[in-house]
Structure 1
């Protein structure tokens, strides 16, 4: 098995690679932008970090946009999106006046309002940073062995709102906002949180991804 982390210049590539190597000692983990290596891999990771406009621009600059869309459409190998890698799968982000994304799953990427408060009226931090409980919305093989309400690590100012309930695998309630922090369709699963920074629960999710046969 070869797990290819798609390197288009954005994302926490080496931390993700080390976490995968920890749970997949017998598998080959590679960071690559070589189309042949990406096509030949048995599993794919789509990372992302920072501004989504920059992520989409760099994906285009490295001439990988078409290939990623092709891999998603084929649906013949598991793909895990992480952080902005989840947001990129939606139709459009509200960031910087609007950024068109990959359009794999219908939905929008919204901004947490700076004036957000919790149910007691306390001001909430934006970005949403730190540990939060993820509630599982639909059963999925990547949740195996992970209880609903488990804590994962987040750093984000924008969040996904998927249009199709069938694509919502998990959510976080942050103030009055319900953010769809785990989404999935066919052989693709994507999360807003960072599994590589989420201790045992994150490693378990990565291990489930490695053994997933959609």
Structure 2
């Protein structure tokens, strides 16, 4: 019998843990919710969710001393998936707040510029253009796949090679996902993105254990 992949969902007080946990479990993972470094390190993969404001998230991560823990896990090649604010905190700074980010990835977080008729926050379904079409996170997905966003800020990576997908809000292209080595992060919410989002979660789970048989298309 195949081993069930274990995913640690980082609990630092600002994540949408319930929806993320349900999505991961639906795709075959055994999920543990924790902020303990030993528990995170023992899992096959780690998911860093997040909703809310940048500074509040950084403060919560600092209270639990999770910044150095996450940096160490990334340095050691632990598969990690950031979601929404869990993407933004990986960068060096944000226009939303005053506190420095974790700095695991070079770059900053920007606010959408105002333009006539543009709604901020960007909320709803939008399409992905794959900057890294061979990124394993996109296995089984078609170009132009639709995913669900809720955000007013977006990441601007210093290294364009880190950009794995782009979307457009108004006339503004923005980074919708990044990928570097065994670190992946998305601005959208895969747990709210129907079949496409479930496939992304399924792909990440498969990546944590190197089992390509797990990436068959997710059921409707």
Q: TM-score, normalised by structure 1?
A: 0.92
User: 1:184 Cα deviation (Å)?
Assistant: 1.1
User: 1:61 Cα deviation (Å)?
Assistant: 0.7
- 23, 36, 41: which one aligns with 1:19: 23
Q: TM-score, normalised by structure 2?
A: 0.89
Residue 167 of structure 2 aligns with which residue? 172
- 120, 129, 146: which one aligns with 1:135: 129
Residue 120 of structure 1 aligns with which residue? none
Query: What number of residue pairs does the alignment pair up?
Result: 204
Residue 39 of structure 1 aligns with which residue? 41
Cα RMSD of the aligned pairs, angstroms, is 1.3
Rounded to whole Å, the distance in 2 between the matches of 1:132 and 1:165 is 21
What secondary structure does 1:210 align onto?
helix
Rounded to whole Å, the distance in 2 between the matches of 1:159 and 1:127 is 11
Rounded to whole Å, the distance in 2 between the matches of 1:175 and 1:108 is 21
Runs of at least 4 residues off by over 2 Å: none
User: 1:202 Cα deviation (Å)?
Assistant: 0.1
Residue 7 of structure 1 aligns with which residue? 11
User: 1:99 Cα deviation (Å)?
Assistant: 3.0
- Alignment partner of 1:195 is 2:197: no
Residue 115 of structure 2 aligns with which residue? 116
User: 1:175 Cα deviation (Å)?
Assistant: 2.1
Rounded to whole Å, the distance in 2 between the matches of 1:210 and 1:22 is 11
Q: Give ranges in structure 2 of 5+ residues lacking alignment.
A: 212-220
Q: Give ranges in structure 1 of 5+ residues lacking alignment.
A: 118-122
- Alignment partner of 1:83 is 2:84: yes
